[in-house]
A and B are shown apart, each in its own frame.
Chain A
């Protein structure tokens, strides 16, 4: 098949109950790094109009299921080429059921001997795809499974949200994204410090947020992240990969991450970003970190939504001339020079200093080496 059609209905002939793209979480569990298949599928799903949240390598059953809850996906897809499926899949289902999200179907792809297929089906795996399964067939199945999703009863979801149920928070965020929330409902006022994190692609925004959030959580704070990635203007599909930098193998209830596609919204933001932030805020977090798509010079919309914006840069990311350009540099409340383990950090810092002066702090950070992040956290607490 050709995965270039405009939307899932055309691609597959499956009728989707909602205008919204189906959402799937794709996970690799365990140590197996063979990710060709999952990456090809992730891209093919995006091209078929599906929103894909990829959680990256080396995940556990626990981390995968928690991610599925926070992302409120329609389907969980697991890729396993390590032959560990008969150990891993029962464990995954056990966690899923424990968290109360047994309504989310699980599919498996990988090297699975025929003899194991019926056993997997019996334990509750919705579908098993082997090497050689056509993308067409897989997309069709995913869309079918997504179509079985029921629209939430938002009255009872609101009650659960008020009680502090993370699944309800997650479902309300789906509601706001899909435009399903009752008009009269408004999130309670929150107390969170809302921090924007922006910067060009590849500077390490997600890794930085993941590490910073960890430090804040360790201080007993509740931290939420809203990560916004671009969606395809043609298919409506999206490949949401920010989350994978923030995953840890253990789930932490103080840390909530939700990925959104921008839906073509201006300034690198989703059109419902304001409401989504309000819902997260009303839930009672101490910090909300908003990551926006790699900011260009003109993408300054994030300033409207946040109390403070951090601009991430990296060594050799631009010379003094670029630093002095207006726009994105001006909205930054502070600069984070990430990847300071790389050569050229001091020179870049000097260029930055001469371009922006000393009014706004410049933090030197290495997320790989866990250096400099504590200082940023301390400073944020004073803002």
Chain B
């Protein structure tokens, strides 16, 4: 294949138009400073010295649909088939902090995830699953503190103390303002709530990953790789600063921050991005935040293959896309990986598609032998050059954000949303112009319809959820419920850490929607900022 002179491609390597990178292009490259050894500063080559030789990445498949009972069954299925961590997808009403009986929830209850409106729902979700035996990831943001409280309560009911709970709360509200739009309160109190959970977990849940600072959604919304990298790390810095402003010692909470990146199609660029992320973060933690503990310096990450690259046309092609992306994630040194199912542009994953996605990882882990050497691409002229370049691009973006006065000010100006929308538009134009090809869509097109069976969600979930909520509301202790919500409101007003009040309200059977409305009455509701 010939090398085409296209200068937009990230792997169009050199200024001279030479079709490879060599020593000449790497003048001044200092491996000791730029790479170090795996498991040592600046962690470019990986957060651990032995990486997958001693411990494979966690194969964490995101799942959730229908009622708590439906998802409970899927969890047990995945555990039986060798998944090593649970990952909970909530439905849209839950993600937006609304109950299943909210008028805006029409048609969306249990559709894209599991519907959880109360502690009672959470109890059913983990029925028969011992919480000290699993690690659970919960993809939830605006109401994250509430779902964490539910989890703590279920643990308590199983006699598992919160010190023993392992898992991850996505809890990354900043990227909701940038990209995914599942925000409720304005940015400042929203970040305050994130810091409440960080502070609470630092004291009571030492094994819990407090925030999964996410580039995934930023990328899926259209950002470039460099934007994903820079916006995500900038968000990480913003949470760190806010927590330090609260009086927390950086070394007490930074080791429990984790990151979540997208793995897109540009194979080497993605690997470079993940390597650069570790290097940038370790320097920031050490030099900017003066962290002393080495664990504060190392960036641990979860990766997911890029949903946005999947096509409805010829859906089995998606298996191949996912496999390449998964390989890039592993060569980039991820600690945990979700591989998308081939049918995700059509519907939620069917059982068969979800299993194939898991098998993709298992083949990668157990058959390809890529796990045998740590950072096998380390030292590659090309990969190191790309790693440096994407880091430099990120530095430019950090400076831009700083010049606006930081992440929150940049949100107020619509900076992130505008940048992402412009990138999305540009990439659509590249597809429309034929510059970027998509197999089965722009090229190699076949007539005919999709050839996979898809998951159908029962229409009954919504009715059942609404009925059970009604039952809960009429049977709970009304005065305890009322007092708990008043306490939550007062706490919000006084600027207290809200976690204890939320746990109390959860035990009093207050619903997600009721708690969110209570906080909204103090914090206000965000309108999305100047850019849409």
**Which of A's residues lie within 8 Å of B, judged by CB?**
1-3, 30-36, 39-40, 43-44, 54, 56-58, 60, 82-84, 86-88, 91, 111, 113-114, 130-132, 134-136, 201-202, 204, 207, 241, 244-245, 249, 339, 341-342, 366-370
Contact = CB atoms under 8 A, between A and B. Distances in A.
Interface string B91-105: 011011010000111
Nearest to B109: A84
A37 B107 CA distance: 21
B313 interface: yes
Interface stretch (B49-57, B421-429, B499-507): B421-429
B527 A245 contact: yes
A58 to B, nearest CB: 6
17 contacts: A30-B104, A30-B106, A34-B180, A35-B221, A36-B221, A36-B308, A56-B528, A56-B532, A82-B92, A82-B111, A83-B108, A130-B345, A201-B530, A202-B414, A244-B532, A341-B524, A368-B524
B358 to A, nearest CB: 22
Contact of B103 (A34, A54, A132, A249): A249
B220 interface: yes
From B181, B345, B412, residue with most partner A Cβ within 10 Å? B181
Interface in B414-447: 414, 421, 424-425, 428-429, 432-433, 438, 441
B107 A132 contact: no
B313 A132 contact: yes
Contacts of B111: 82-84
B96 A31 contact: yes
B220 to A, nearest CB: 7
Contacts of B311: 131-132
Contacts of B412: 339, 342
From B105, B220, B432, residue with most partner A Cβ within 10 Å? B432
B107 A30 contact: yes
Contact of A84 (B108, B526, B531): B108
A36 B108 contact: no
B106 A87 contact: yes
Contacts of A245: 527
B95 to A, nearest CB: 7
Contacts of B308: 36
Contacts of A207: 527
B96 A2 contact: no
Contacts of A136: 432
Contacts of A114: 449-450
Nearest to A41: B428
A131 B312 contact: yes
Contact of B433 (A2, A35, A241, A342): A2
Contact of B454 (A35, A113, A339): A113
B207 interface: no
A44 B425 contact: yes
Interface in B106-151: 106-108, 111-112
Given A31-B95, A35-B181, A39-B421, A58 B104 contact: yes
Contacts of A87: 106-107
Interface in B177-208: 180-182, 186, 188
A31 B105 contact: yes
